[in-house]
């Protein structure tokens, strides 16, 4: 099944945010730096598309340059819950 551009933007936003929370809040990482960087760079390009303003976390990622996740909302409740869930696995 083919994903829409909006679905891909939402997925990359969540991945970047959750893994930033794992890294900065819990000093854990379940993906390597190369993969995170790949997702982040892809997201930077996706955020330029006309579909981006309709994404779930659009406001959070305005100005995101893909070099670090430390300036993201690392207290986002949904993303923190997902990060904690991943840590349990």
- What is the residue-level pLDDT of the chain in tens, covering all 89 positions? 678 999 999 999 999 999 999 999 999 999 999 999 999 999 999 999 999 999 999 999 999 999 999 999 999 999 999 999 999 98
What Rg do the C-alpha atoms of the chain give, in angstroms? Answer: 12
pLDDT of amino acid 66: 95
Predicted confidence at residue 3, as pLDDT, reads: 82
- In sequence order, which ranges of the chain are alpha helices (DSSP H)? 5-26, 33-46, 58-61, 77-88
Q: CA quadruple 56, 15, 73, 85: dihedral positive or negative?
A: positive
Per the CB < 8 A criterion, the answer to whether 86 and 22 are in contact is yes
pLDDT score at 40: 97
């Amino acid at each position: 099944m083919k994903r829409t551009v909006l679905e891909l933007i939402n997925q990359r936003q969540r991945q970047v945010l959750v893994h930033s929370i794992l890294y900065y809040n819990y000093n854990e990482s379940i993906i390597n730096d190369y993969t995170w960087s790949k997702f982040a760079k892809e997201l930077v390009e996706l955020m330029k598309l006309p579909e981006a303003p309709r994404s779930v976390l659009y406001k959070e990622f305005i100005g995101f340059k893909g070099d670090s996740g430390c300036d993201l909302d690392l207290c986002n409740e949904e993303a923190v819950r997902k990060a904690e869930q991943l840590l349990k696995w």
